[in-house]
């Protein structure tokens, strides 16, 4: 028999179960199977003693099945049949009834085969009582070994065989926990070549056990401290491999040459600075300096600039663009929406004044041109924008996805700025940078969705990160209140009255709805308990105009309007010709109207935490305090309401992005990824393991500096390759 190795096919240890395991979890090799870590451990010594449990307590018991009966009954609610398996299990002292309900026949039959008399299992759930007898309904179950033919003797032997710490693996209805147990145990017994990715001195310096030992201890611990030591080691590996990939990417960038953009004194940047109507904040100064340094370093800049909504990222980016223009190059600014691209074009043109009219009558001698390229341009405007970009007449080209099209060419693209980078994929960034012929352009990506430091290190670790922490002076606080209609239905009237007050003071108001309206087809199905249709722009606007806000100038803005109309509306709102703008989230990113002081969000529970934070950043920009009202029907104590309360409680975007991530993670844990689909991060949480990540980053950077292509670390190189492949597979799946 050939030796069984890390890379052997799964069937070598899983036999006939291999196809089922592969289908359920995607594992093809023995090594991948060994990466299937237990979800939970149960201490045999800490199992519940049935003599002392009372109803409503949570218990975990080991017991032998003595009887099981499958019953079929008509399902009155859904029609058809439903299934109930009633089993009696015996512990050393007592008996307990288990009841399992199933809606699908094959599941019920599978359960009947699993919970079969003679078998021993672990059952966990909340104790109820039925006809004077303790009972568990739909308990979590782990049955040990194949069905025992014999009686009590064999059951007793089975009990002896059960380890002190019982592992519970993520399982499915087709692959049972004990089948995974068996295959994994066999693999641990047979496989000798567990890859060791950590250099011994790194391992020892951090007191980490060898990889082989770690796997043994995570799958078959004798004590809790073994389990913890195994986990620590394998968690470090996850961080280390990811950080190695990122360190390599950074090194690759460093190895590329980019044209230094040194600018010149007395050029357009200097003239711009001298006429800037405000003083840069210390943060803006500092980040600007870092960026200008990057631009002369001789390698392509690759920098992430994050900063709260309104923290003044645009000016920082503009200064970088002007430096490139001063060096004879061009800059492209990519925005995610038409509204935002137009707004950037307007505000940058305004900031530049006659510097933006280079080569034109009345323009500054030293100036340049700012071109706008969006999908909605008419043919002549488009032709002239394309020409200005290709000839180099436009030093700055602002646009949407339209910038990525083949027809768009630059004379000398030196800098790519991507606004709200989370709206764009890596491929789109690449499509734009590819438009520079010769050396690669510098890249600056900006985001107002704050990214916790560790996430930035993990997800964007190939970027240098800068943060604008302070808001420019004169930015007033935003107060956020939750308007809970389930508790106070009359508060909506008061909210409308508040809008009127705000307008009477000469200010403007946004009203945000989750839906456009008209047909219902754009609305996702309402979540379970809430069958009320979501607020729609096309219904709310006329309702407000005719009722509570009659006499005010109310307009609608949403994605289905013609681009010209959208632009016209935004201009009118910016000019103060509209009092109340009822809109969808088209206003979410970047829209900047200083006189808007209040926002009311209908069905606020339908939006994500970060999205609400972005939305409310639209108000309070002009030195007047902002007010944001989050209207919801969600009752107190529901997760939806908790989320809104979190948004109301803090304006710290970093704190909120943590809340958001935690919730999404929660969703993942309960959803698809629980089945253990190949994820490279199983033990590492980017939120909880900051210290592990930064240590691993340090180690990886040092290692890559000394051995860039990992030729002295073949095992690590193999894992890195595997991660690349997984990423590529992910990408292909998405494409
Ligand atoms: P964001 O970071 O959300 O993109 P912007 O760059 O749009 O923020 O800036 C928001 C507003 O603040 C703009 O009107 C901009 O002109 C203004 N601004 C930027 N920096 C300063 C500053 N240092 N002092 C005062 N106002 C500033
Ligand atoms: Mg912005």
In sequence order, what DSSP letters do the residues of 58-122 get, joined into one string?
A: EEEEEEEEEEEEEEEEE-TTTSSEEEEEEEEEE-SS-EEEEEEEESSHHHHHHHHHHS-TT-EEE
Bridge partners, residue 74, by sequence = 81
Query: What's the length of the chain?
Result: 735
Whose tokens are 């073994």? That residue is: 226
Distances (CA, A) of 371 to 248, 315, 368, 406, 564: 37, 17, 10, 17, 17
- Give the per-residue pLDDT at 521: 46
Alpha carbon nearest to ligand 1 atom 19, residue: 312
The mean pLDDT of 411-431, rounded to a whole number, is 80
Q: Choose one of 279, 312, 588 to mutate for the ligand 1 pocket test, by most ligand atoms within 8 angstroms of C-beta.
A: 312
Give the global pTM: 0.67
- Give the per-residue pLDDT at 149: 53
pLDDT at 729 over 60: no
Confidence of residue 156 (pLDDT cuts 50, 70, 90): low
What value does the mean pLDDT of the chain take? 84
Distances (CA, A) of 463 to 416, 457, 730: 14, 8, 21
Ligand at minimal distance from the CA of 276 is 1
- Give the per-residue pLDDT at 733: 46
User: Of all residues in the chain, what percent are helix, strand and coil, respectively (each to 5)?
Assistant: 45, 20, 35
- Give the per-residue pLDDT at 151: 52
Q: Are 64 and 119 in contact (CB under 8 A)?
A: yes
The mean pLDDT of 321-334, rounded to a whole number, is 96
Confidence of residue 363 (pLDDT cuts 50, 70, 90): low
Higher pLDDT, 158 or 531: 158
Alpha carbon nearest to ligand 1 atom 1, residue: 310
Give the pair of three-digit tokens for residue 131.
Answer: 């006809």
pLDDT at 127 over 80: yes
3-state secondary structure of 191: coil
Closest CA to 417 of 307, 349, 338, 332: 332
Ligand at minimal distance from the CA of 315 is 1
Gap from CA of 475 to ligand 1 centroid (Å)? 9
Ligand at minimal distance from the CA of 340 is 2
Burial class of residue 263 in the structure, from the number of CB atoms within 10 Å of its CB (0-12 exposed, 13-18 middle, 19+ buried): buried
Q: Are 227 and 217 in contact (CB under 8 A)?
A: yes
- Give the per-residue pLDDT at 459: 59
Which atom of ligand 1 lies closest to the CA of 284? 23
φ, ψ for residue 599, nearest 5 deg: -135, 135
Which atom of ligand 1 lies closest to the CA of 351? 16
Query: Quick one: what percent of the chain has pLDDT higher than 70?
Result: 86
Higher pLDDT, 117 or 461: 117
Confidence of residue 613 (pLDDT cuts 50, 70, 90): confident
Give the pair of three-digit tokens for residue 432.
Answer: 């734009």
376-416: pLDDT as tens digits: 888 999 999 999 999 999 999 999 989 999 899 999 999 99
Count helices and strands in the chain by DSSP H and E runs: 24, 21
φ, ψ for residue 507, nearest 5 deg: -100, 175
3-state secondary structure of 162: coil
> How far apart are alpha carbons 407 and 390 in whole angstroms?
10
> How far apart are alpha carbons 331 and 236 in whole angstroms?
41
State the distance between the two ends of the chain, measured CA to CA, in whole angstroms.
42
The mean pLDDT of 622-645, rounded to a whole number, is 88
Distances (CA, A) of 467 to 305, 306, 412, 472: 6, 5, 29, 14
Neighbour tally for 7: CB within 10 Å = 15
The mean pLDDT of 702-729, rounded to a whole number, is 86
pLDDT at 675 over 50: no
Q: Are 100 and 109 in contact (CB under 8 A)?
A: no
Q: Choose one of 280, 423, 445, 472 to mutate for the ligand 1 pocket test, by most ligand atoms within 8 angstroms of C-beta.
A: 472
- Give the per-residue pLDDT at 384: 95
φ, ψ for residue 525, nearest 5 deg: -60, 135
> How far apart are alpha carbons 338 and 375 in whole angstroms?
8
Confidence of residue 72 (pLDDT cuts 50, 70, 90): very high
Which regions of 448-565 does DSSP assign to beta strands (E)? 464-468, 478-484, 508-512, 554-557
What are the pocket residues of ligand 1 if the criterion is a CB atom closer than 6 Å to any ligand atom?
278, 280-281, 284, 307, 309-315, 448, 472, 590, 592
- Give the per-residue pLDDT at 141: 81
DSSP string, 695-722: HHHHHHHHHHHH-TT-TT-HHHHHHHHH
Compute the Cα dihedral for 640, 643, 649, 650 and give only its sign. negative
- Give the per-residue pLDDT at 52: 72
Whose tokens are 């000394």? That residue is: 706
Residue 684: CA count within 13 A, CB half-sphere: 25
Alpha carbon nearest to ligand 1 atom 22, residue: 472
Alpha carbon nearest to ligand 1 atom 26, residue: 472
3-state secondary structure of 630: strand
Burial class of residue 690 in the structure, from the number of CB atoms within 10 Å of its CB (0-12 exposed, 13-18 middle, 19+ buried): middle
3-state secondary structure of 496: helix
Whose tokens are 């009255």? That residue is: 497
- Give the per-residue pLDDT at 246: 86
Confidence of residue 673 (pLDDT cuts 50, 70, 90): very low
Distances (CA, A) of 193 to 188, 196, 673, 683: 10, 9, 28, 22
103-121: pLDDT as tens digits: 888 888 888 988 988 888 8
216-256: pLDDT as tens digits: 999 999 999 999 999 999 999 999 998 898 888 888 888 88
Which atom of ligand 1 lies closest to the CA of 468? 2
Closest CA to 147 of 114, 106, 193, 101: 114
DSSP 171: -
Q: Are β-strands 394-399 and 369-373 bridged in parallel, bridged antiparallel, or unpaired?
A: parallel
Give the pair of three-digit tokens for residue 304.
Answer: 């992430």
Closest CA to 236 of 696, 679, 716, 685: 696
Q: For helices 313-326 and 268-275, what crossing angle results, to 10°?
A: 150
- Give the per-residue pLDDT at 735: 36
Q: Are 294 and 464 in contact (CB under 8 A)?
A: yes
pLDDT at 532 over 80: no
Alpha carbon nearest to ligand 1 atom 13, residue: 312
DSSP string, 93-110: S-EEEEEEEESSHHHHHH
DSSP string, 564-608: HHHHHHHHHHHTT--SEEEE-GGGSSS---TTEEEEEETTGGGS-
Query: Quick one: what percent of the chain has pLDDT higher than 90?
Result: 46
- Give the per-residue pLDDT at 690: 81
């Amino acid at each position: 028999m050939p030796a069984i190795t890390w890379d052997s096919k799964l069937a070598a240890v899983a036999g006939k179960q291999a196809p089922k395991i592969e289908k359920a979890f995607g594992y093809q090799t023995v090594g991948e199977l060994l990466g299937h870590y237990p979800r939970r451990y149960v201490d045999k010594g800490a199992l519940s003693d049935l003599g002392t449990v009372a109803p409503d307590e949570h218990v975990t018991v080991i017991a032998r099945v003595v009887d099981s009966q499958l019953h079929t009954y008509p399902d009155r609610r859904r029609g058809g049949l439903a299934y109930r398996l009633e089993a009696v299990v015996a512990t050393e002292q007592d008996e307990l009834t288990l009841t399992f309900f199933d809606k699908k026949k094959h599941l019920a039959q599978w359960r009947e085969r699993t919970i079969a008399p003679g078998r021993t299992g672990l059952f966990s759930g909340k104790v109820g009582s039925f006809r004077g007898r303790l009972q568990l309904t739909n308990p979590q179950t782990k049955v040990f070994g194949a069905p025992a033919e014999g009686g009590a003797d064999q059951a007793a032997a089975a009990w002896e065989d059960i380890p002190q710490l019982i592992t519970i693996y993520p399982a499915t209805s087709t692959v049972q926990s004990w089948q995974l147990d068996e295959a994994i145990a066999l693999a641990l017994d047979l496989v000798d070549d567990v890859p060791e990715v950590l250099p011994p001195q790194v391992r020892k310096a951090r007191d980490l056990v060898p990889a082989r030992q770690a796997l043994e201890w995570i799958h078959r611990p004798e004590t809790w401290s073994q389990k913890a030591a195994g986990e620590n080691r394998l968690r470090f590996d996850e961080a280390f491999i990811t950080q190695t990939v990122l360190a390599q990417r950074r090194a690759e960038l460093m190895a590329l040459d980019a044209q230094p953009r040194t600018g010149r004194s007395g050029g357009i940047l200097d003239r711009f600075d001298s006429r800037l109507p405000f003083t840069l904040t210390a943060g803006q100064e500092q980040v600007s300096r870092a960026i200008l340094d990057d631009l002369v370093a001789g390698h392509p800049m690759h920098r992430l600039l994050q900063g709260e909504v309104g923290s003044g990222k645009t000016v920082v980016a503009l200064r970088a663009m002007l430096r490139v223009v001063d060096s004879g190059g061009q800059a492209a600014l990519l925005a995610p929406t038409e509204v935002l691209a137009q707004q950037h074009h307007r505000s940058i043109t305004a900031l530049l004044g006659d510097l933006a009219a280079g080569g034109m009558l009345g323009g500054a001698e030293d100036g340049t041109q700012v071109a706008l390229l969006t999908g909605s341009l008419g043919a002549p405007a488009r032709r002239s924008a394309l020409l200005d970009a290709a000839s180099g007449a436009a030093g700055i080209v602002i646009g949407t996805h339209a910038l990525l099209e083949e027809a768009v060419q630059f004379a000398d693209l030196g800098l790519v700025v991507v606004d709200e980078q989370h709206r764009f994929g890596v491929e789109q960034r690449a499509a734009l940078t590819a438009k520079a012929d010769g050396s690669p352009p510098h890249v600056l990506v900006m985001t107002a969705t704050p990214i916790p430091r560790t996430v930035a290190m993990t997800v964007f670790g190939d970027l240098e990160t800068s943060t604008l922490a302070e808001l420019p002076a004169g930015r007033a606080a935003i107060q956020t209140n939750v308007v809970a209609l389930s508790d106070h239905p009359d508060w909506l009237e008061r909210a409308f009255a508040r809008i009127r007050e705000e307008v009477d003071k000469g200010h403007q108001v946004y009203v945000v709805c989750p839906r456009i309206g008209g047909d219902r087809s754009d609305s996702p199905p309402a979540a379970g308990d809430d069958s009320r249709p979501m607020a729609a722009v096309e219904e709310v606007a006329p309702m407000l105009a005719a009722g509570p806000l009659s006499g005010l100038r109310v307009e609608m803005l949403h994605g289905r309007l013609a681009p010209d109309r959208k632009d016209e509306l935004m201009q009118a709102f910016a000019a103060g010709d509209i009092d109340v703008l009822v809109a969808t989230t088209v206003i979410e990113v970047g829209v900047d109207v200083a006189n808007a002081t209040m926002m009311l969000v209908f069905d606020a529970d339908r939006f994500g935490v970060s999205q609400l934070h972005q939305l409310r950043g639209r108000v309070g920009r002009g030195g007047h305090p902002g007010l944001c009202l989050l209207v919801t029907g969600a009752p107190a104590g529901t997760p939806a309401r908790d989320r809104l309360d979190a948004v109301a409680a803090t304006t710290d975007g970093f704190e909120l992005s943590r809340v958001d991530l935690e919730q999404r993670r929660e969703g993942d844990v309960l959803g698809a990824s629980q089945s253990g689909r190949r994820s490279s991060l199983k033990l590492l949480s980017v939120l909880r393991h900051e210290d592990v990540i930064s240590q691993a980053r340090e180690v990886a950077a040092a290692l890559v500096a000394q051995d860039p292509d990992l030729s002295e670390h073949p095992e690590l190189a193999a894992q890195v390759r595997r991660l690349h492949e997984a990423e590529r597979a992910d990408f292909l799946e998405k494409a």
